[in-house]
Structure 1
Amino acid sequence: MTLRQGTIVTMGGGGFSMPDVADAGSLDEHLLALARGDTPRVCFVGTAGGDAAAYVERFLAAFEGRARTSVLALFGNGPEGSIPLNRLDDVLDQDVVYVGGGSTANLLAVWRLHGLPDLLAQAASRGTVLAGISAGMNCWFEASSTDSFGPYAPLRDGLGLLPGSACPHYRGEPGRRESYLDWVASGRLPDGYAADDGVALVWRDGVLVEAVTERAGAQAVGVRRTARGVTEEPLPTRVLGA
């Protein structure tokens, strides 16, 4: 899939999924501000976490009163009012599709079985903001750093709505940064982008337009392979609310 239209927000960590990171409401508020309307329609997709009920409940509580919420539970265990599995094209009516964390590999496999990637690309081209944290960051890129198989591993099987590779939780998890740098340096992953917890990258039509953070000191970096190995290029990152 190479269609790269629309707005995508990729979060290394933070938001309602990680309320201990910082001002955990700031990234979510920024996401809502990018959406259409004053009370946007926000659909949570928790496939990567097996549609865990506790995760869904945290989403519903975080967005209560701020959005018209819905849930897409591909494992069929969603709460009352979830998008029916025979009506997946309801995602086309959403203003935001918010993808939770968990296993990137499992997410991609299940989505493809249900034909969801094409629907999401179509939704983005019609104005739906696609967003996600961790696995929900990884999935939009061509490749990523993942712990879907236990130890950190390179995964070259993303949707390709965004170019290159991704690494969430960049400096927040031991070994995450070091392994990602090694894979880019060796060519096992293409050049890409890494985001600390609390950082989001905002993309429009496949082009990075801004990096924002809800935690002072958190960074986004571009990681590039060079003749001498690999370089990290810190990206200008705006602190939300500053």
Structure 2
Amino acid sequence: MGPIIAMGGGGFSMEPENPLLDQYVLKQSGKKKPKVCFVSTASGDSVDYIRRFYRAFKKLDCEPSRLTLFPPPTSDLEDYVMDKDIIYVGGGNTKNLVALWKAWELDRIFRKAWEEGKVLAGISAGAICWFEEAVTDSVPGRISRVEGLGFLEGSACPHFDGQEERRPGFHRLLREGAIGDGVAADDGAALHFLGKELKQVVTSRPRAKAYRLQRRGDRVVERELESVYLGEKG
């Protein structure tokens, strides 16, 4: 199985002047000039979002491409995906993303890509979709649980420090028993899994963190995970 890089926030869409996380994702392919495919399903294939991806990644040592469903680039999505080295999933509505991927069998195709060593990466919705379940704002008005693809065990929450409702929302869902134990990542933090095991946490911001959260009776235990800052220290 290949790596999964789950970013709580950051990357080209949130940190256009800070390419540290995007450069880190590219390095995980082991290729000199990897083929990286941006999947913009969660944003409804936003044209602006896709343009920003190309603007950022054309400056990096890679071959950028995109996979849209409005419309698809080809009738053979599996062949298209398997030709890439990195699948980079953008943010947006996680509930819609999961539903559309299942309708187009992208859940199966991405699992095959992962099992054959391709890099799966993403921000926000593109980070939490790989887990069994996740904390989302896909339904307007409240933080709620959404079912993921189940590649990774447990639950996940993005934007842990970037959106004030995220941390209390995750805690509430855990206390209510509405969601299982899991992990959370601040904006600028990425959880790097190798297969299903968490290898390390890396950050593009000196103070960004990631956490493991567990329900213990009627309380939630939150533990900070060790992290590595990708920029210059001092």
TM-score with structure 1 length normalisation?
0.92
CA drift of 1:176 comes to 1.0
**1:200 pairs with 184, 190, 203, which one?**
190
SS in 2 for 1:13: coil
Once residues 74 and 93 of structure 1 are traced to their aligned partners in structure 2, the CA distance between those partners, rounded to angstroms, is: 18
Q: 1:145-172: per-residue Cα shift (whole Å, max 9, x none)?
A: 1111112333241100011111000011
After superposition, where does 1:136-147 map in structure 2 within 5 Å? 136-147=126-137
Please tell me whether residue 109 in structure 1 is matched to residue 105 in structure 2: no
Q: 1:61-87: per-residue Cα shift (whole Å, max 9, x none)?
A: 1111521111100111x7xxxx32433
The sequence identity of aligned pairs, in percent, is 42
What residue number does 1:57 align with?
51
What residue number does 1:236 align with?
226
What residue number does 2:206 align with?
216
Once residues 115 and 100 of structure 1 are traced to their aligned partners in structure 2, the CA distance between those partners, rounded to angstroms, is: 18
Structure 2 residue runs of 5 or longer lacking an equivalent are: none
What residue number does 1:47 align with?
41
Query: Is the contact between residue 74 and residue 85 of structure 1 (CA under 8 Å) also seen in structure 2?
Result: no
Q: Structure 1 pair 85/184, CA: closer, same or farther in 2 (3 Å)?
A: farther
Structure 1 residue runs of 5 or longer lacking an equivalent are: none
Once residues 58 and 115 of structure 1 are traced to their aligned partners in structure 2, the CA distance between those partners, rounded to angstroms, is: 27
Q: 1:40-95: per-residue Cα shift (whole Å, max 9, x none)?
A: 0000000000111110011111111521111100111x7xxxx3243343111211
**1:72 pairs with 50, 67, 72, which one?**
67
In the alignment of these two chains, the number of paired residues is 231
Query: Is the contact between residue 95 and residue 146 of structure 2 (CA under 8 Å) also seen in structure 1?
Result: no
What residue number does 1:28 align with?
22
**2:7 pairs with 11, 31, 54, which one?**
11
**2:215 pairs with 206, 212, 225, which one?**
225
Superposition RMSD in Å: 1.4
Once residues 220 and 33 of structure 2 are traced to their aligned partners in structure 1, the CA distance between those partners, rounded to angstroms, is: 43
CA drift of 1:120 comes to 0.4
Once residues 213 and 142 of structure 2 are traced to their aligned partners in structure 1, the CA distance between those partners, rounded to angstroms, is: 17
Q: Structure 1 pair 24/151, CA: closer, same or farther in 2 (3 Å)?
A: farther
Once residues 185 and 82 of structure 2 are traced to their aligned partners in structure 1, the CA distance between those partners, rounded to angstroms, is: 28
CA drift of 1:228 comes to 4.1
TM-score with structure 2 length normalisation?
0.95
Once residues 139 and 55 of structure 2 are traced to their aligned partners in structure 1, the CA distance between those partners, rounded to angstroms, is: 31
Once residues 198 and 101 of structure 1 are traced to their aligned partners in structure 2, the CA distance between those partners, rounded to angstroms, is: 14
Once residues 80 and 219 of structure 2 are traced to their aligned partners in structure 1, the CA distance between those partners, rounded to angstroms, is: 46
Query: Is the contact between residue 219 and residue 234 of structure 1 (CA under 8 Å) also seen in structure 2?
Result: yes
